[in-house]
Structure 1
Amino acid sequence: METAPRPPRRGRLAVPLLLGGALALGCGAYAWRESRAQAAQPPVAAAKAPAIRVHVAAVERRDVPVVLGGLGSVQASQTVNIHARVDGTLQSVNFTEGQNVKAGDVLARLDPRLAQASLDQARAARAKDEAQLKGAEADLARYAQLVQKDYASRQSVDQQQATVDGLKASIVADDAAIETAQANLDYTTVVAPVDGRMGIRQLDAGNIVHSGDATPIAVLTTLKPISVVFALPEKDLDAVQQAAARGPVAAVATRDDGTVLGSGTLAVLDNQIDAGTATLKLKAVFPNEDERLWPGAFVHVNLAVDTVKNALTVPVAAVQRGPDGLFAWVLGAGDAATVRPIETGRVAGGVTVVTRGLDDGDRVILDGQYRLRPNAKVAVVGDIRAPAEHLAEGESGRITQ
């Protein structure tokens, strides 16, 4: 049986190739027509970018106080541990915890009977010695008369004179014993040595107390005036000394949140710098009439040491830092944002002194700087005035150099 001959291999491949070519030609023609149609249409206008909303502030000239700030602790101007000065039984406690007392007020009383007995004994000993002295002086006078008539020896006169002198010395000792006994009796009444405020009572009536006890009856502190001991960096020493040479240096004590607790003056500069911390200790004194400063509290102290006159200033928020240093965004012509390199000096809470780069009348951008680009259009939504009125009072926070 004969088999029909197979068609040539070239004929079988020609069909797919023809179909693929036809498909490619069709796609190309479609693409060409679409491109021509799009080219014939008018171009669409690019959307206009919206202006960036910002707040601005004018560059202003003002007097900026130079205030040095340090952290310190409040200390009572006087702290007295109230102890008994003699041994005895605590008979009564005559103060209320937290009471304000005056110097001389009775705080406690001890049982006075033993001290009174010692005083009576000393007085009796003096009376006895006085009586003996009178008799000895009379005998001395008789011996003096007898020796003139040779009825007594000179030796007996000398011996009697020695007896008289000894009794006189005993009376002096008796006087000292009386004073000691009287002082011990007085010490049974415990009085306030200074004006101040009483603390928590440590001992109750009925306890036996001794002059050497470590635990006081209570602690008395003087709150008016009150002191704050604080530290400043070593580099601030010259500024503080120059300010002190000109007159009293104003000090303001504040909390962490800036709340003013009191105003006073610098009282003491320590006589040495702490080599371990490179800081200088200072003490400021505050009247503390409202008792807002309390011993043991930590506060910030601002010292007004100088004033920069007629300084060019901007709000702190306007100062930006970049790879090449400090700069500010300035509102230019046509409400376009421009970059201006600047140099700054002192910083006072709220404002920065600008020493170079800005001029009077410039307006700086305070917010939204991260969205700005050179010549970007901005829309001013507010014109803010930097705080200045309270700078001289030290209420705006710490001012650095």
Structure 2
Amino acid sequence: MRDKKVDQGKGTSGPGRLRRLARTLLGFTTFSLNTALAGAVVMIGVTTIQMRAEEKPRIDAAPLTEVRFFRPDPQPGYEVARSFTGRLEPARQTDLAFELTGTIRQIRADEGDTVERGDVIARLDTRSLEAERRRQLANRKAAESDLELAELTLNRRRKLQQAGHVSEEVLDRARLAASRLQASLAQIDAAMETIDINLDKSVLRAPYDGRVGARLLDEGATATPGQPVLKVLESARPTVRIGLAPDVAGRLDREETFTIRIGSRAFEARFTGIRPDLQTRTRTIEALFELKGGTALPGFGQLAELTLSERIDAEGFWVPAASLKEGPRGLWTLLTLAEAGESNTHLVVREAVEVLHMDADRAFVRGTITGATRIVADGVHRVVAGQTVRLQKSGA
């Protein structure tokens, strides 16, 4: 029976092995077919992509950017306009005061009034002086009468002395009496002259053509000697006082005409001189300018502005401010044009420059550029260094 079981086991192992082999061959065949199919799909996809890439339309290159350029003009230097501020003031101003003590009887000018030289603008009460003058005048008339009598007496004594009826002593007394009366007349004349001087000093007159700046006392006030009553400002020669640096003041020419602005108006001015001392706080020297045609001037004390041009010797070029471009590390650059080989095509090149002076729309620069350098005039934001560009036909 054991032999039968063995035979049965041998009989069943052959067909099972065949079935496993068949399944293995079938799986390998299926894998190969799948791999081949996947490869075919990949090849078809790649081929399709290549065909579509070849079918994409070609894009033409953009036209070259056109730029406008200029050639700089070499300059030996440039001028810098410097402004200095001062004040408008009268050439002369006087505080008018009486030399005598007295009551102010009349003031004939008010603040802002125009006066001419010699005009009477204030008076003191002079009734006591006038009375004293009348008394002295009466004394003089009396002295004149006494002198006339003394001279008649002297003449009679001389005749009597010649006839031998009068001594020399009597004649001398008559002569000396007449001399005393003449001295009294001279004393009275001196007193009257003093009164006339005091009467003249009791009147304030304008010392020059001008305007009344301030009225410090009114009628009825008691004026003391030297106490200001009116301030008069001369209007004929308005003057501007401006503080300048010593080197600038030293270059001023008296024959040159300067322009000074006061507010929105411009005036021609003549340089009249400078003060010899240096202002310690501002380290400036005050220069004086006399305005020409100074009629209807603005009020004294207004600010005045003087603009002077200073020459700076430095070789460089004037370029438009629009042609400058900010570079690295705070430098400024210009875009220049170098020939690219083809007709009318140029290569953009960056050149570093130093800005020496800047105006409203131009700058004075120096660097490695020359008078033959082509510089991009404007539109520097549209091009970059290394770009090929074309020149505009209107370029210089």
> Fold match, TM over 0.5?
yes
Q: Does 1:98 align with 2:112?
A: yes
Check the 8 A contact 1:79/1:221 in 2, yes or no: yes
Structure 1 match to 2:242: 230
Structure 1 match to 2:217: 203
Give the drift of 1:342. 4.2
1:1-400 paired onto structure 2 within 5 Å? 69-148=83-162, 149=164, 151-154=166-169, 156-214=170-228, 216-217=229-230, 219-240=231-252, 244=253, 248-254=255-261, 259-274=264-279, 277-287=282-292, 289-303=294-308, 313-314=318-319, 327=332, 329=334, 332=337, 336=348, 338-342=350-354, 344=356, 359=371
Structure 2 Cα separation of the partners of residues 130 and 300 of structure 1: 69
Q: Secondary structure at the match of 1:82?
A: strand
- Give the direction of change, closer, same or farther, for the CA distance of 1:66–1:343 in structure 2 (3 Å limit): closer
- Give the direction of change, closer, same or farther, for the CA distance of 1:194–1:237 in structure 2 (3 Å limit): closer
Check the 8 A contact 2:333/2:351 in 1, yes or no: yes
- Give the direction of change, closer, same or farther, for the CA distance of 1:170–1:376 in structure 2 (3 Å limit): farther
Q: Secondary structure at the match of 1:224?
A: coil
Q: Secondary structure at the match of 1:302?
A: strand
Matched letter for residue 80 of structure 1: T
Give the drift of 1:227. 0.8
- Residues 29-48 of structure 1: per-residue CA shift (max 9 Å, x gap): xxxx9xx99x9998xx9xx9
Structure 2 Cα separation of the partners of residues 57 and 163 of structure 1: 110
- Give the direction of change, closer, same or farther, for the CA distance of 1:372–1:351 in structure 2 (3 Å limit): same
- Give the direction of change, closer, same or farther, for the CA distance of 1:159–1:265 in structure 2 (3 Å limit): same
Matched letter for residue 132 of structure 1: D
Counting aligned pairs with the same residue, the percent is: 21
Structure 1 Cα separation of the partners of residues 143 and 327 of structure 2: 96
Give the drift of 1:152. 1.6
Q: Secondary structure at the match of 2:215?
A: coil
Matched letter for residue 100 of structure 2: V
Structure 2 Cα separation of the partners of residues 125 and 358 of structure 1: 101
- Residues 366-391 of structure 1: per-residue CA shift (max 9 Å, x gap): 8999x99756899xxxxxxxxxxxxx
* TM-score normalised over the length of structure 1: 0.61
Structure 2 Cα separation of the partners of residues 307 and 300 of structure 1: 22
Which is worse superposed, 326-335 or 197-206? 326-335
Check the 8 A contact 1:227/1:286 in 2, yes or no: yes
Give the drift of 1:112. 3.2
Structure 2 Cα separation of the partners of residues 316 and 140 of structure 1: 108
Q: Secondary structure at the match of 2:118?
A: coil
Structure 2 Cα separation of the partners of residues 318 and 158 of structure 1: 113
Check the 8 A contact 2:336/2:373 in 1, yes or no: no
Check the 8 A contact 2:214/2:232 in 1, yes or no: no
* TM-score normalised over the length of structure 2: 0.62
- Residues 190-242 of structure 1: per-residue CA shift (max 9 Å, x gap): 3322111122432222222233325x23x1112232111112112224422xx
Structure 1 Cα separation of the partners of residues 288 and 296 of structure 2: 18
- Give the direction of change, closer, same or farther, for the CA distance of 1:200–1:269 in structure 2 (3 Å limit): closer
Structure 1 Cα separation of the partners of residues 130 and 110 of structure 2: 28
Which fold has the larger relative contact order, with Cα–Cα distance below 8 Å and residues 6 or more apart in sequence?
A: 1
Structure 1 Cα separation of the partners of residues 383 and 232 of structure 2: 62
- Give the direction of change, closer, same or farther, for the CA distance of 1:142–1:339 in structure 2 (3 Å limit): farther
Structure 2 Cα separation of the partners of residues 362 and 85 of structure 1: 80
Structure 2 Cα separation of the partners of residues 180 and 294 of structure 1: 41
- For structure 1, list consecutive stretches of 5 or more residues without a partner in the other structure: 1-32, 379-401
Matched letter for residue 233 of structure 1: A
Structure 2 Cα separation of the partners of residues 132 and 250 of structure 1: 71
Give the drift of 1:283. 0.7
- Residues 66-95 of structure 1: per-residue CA shift (max 9 Å, x gap): 766432222211212232343333233322
Check the 8 A contact 2:79/2:309 in 1, yes or no: yes
Check the 8 A contact 1:251/1:304 in 2, yes or no: no
- Give the direction of change, closer, same or farther, for the CA distance of 1:132–1:232 in structure 2 (3 Å limit): same
Which is worse superposed, 59-68 or 197-206? 59-68
Give the drift of 1:341. 2.1
Q: Name the Cα RMSD after superposition.
A: 5.0
Check the 8 A contact 1:313/1:352 in 2, yes or no: yes
Structure 2 Cα separation of the partners of residues 64 and 326 of structure 1: 21
Structure 2 Cα separation of the partners of residues 205 and 104 of structure 1: 21
Give the drift of 1:59. 5.3
Check the 8 A contact 1:75/1:229 in 2, yes or no: yes
Give the drift of 1:98. 1.3
Check the 8 A contact 1:319/1:327 in 2, yes or no: yes
Give the drift of 1:282. 1.1
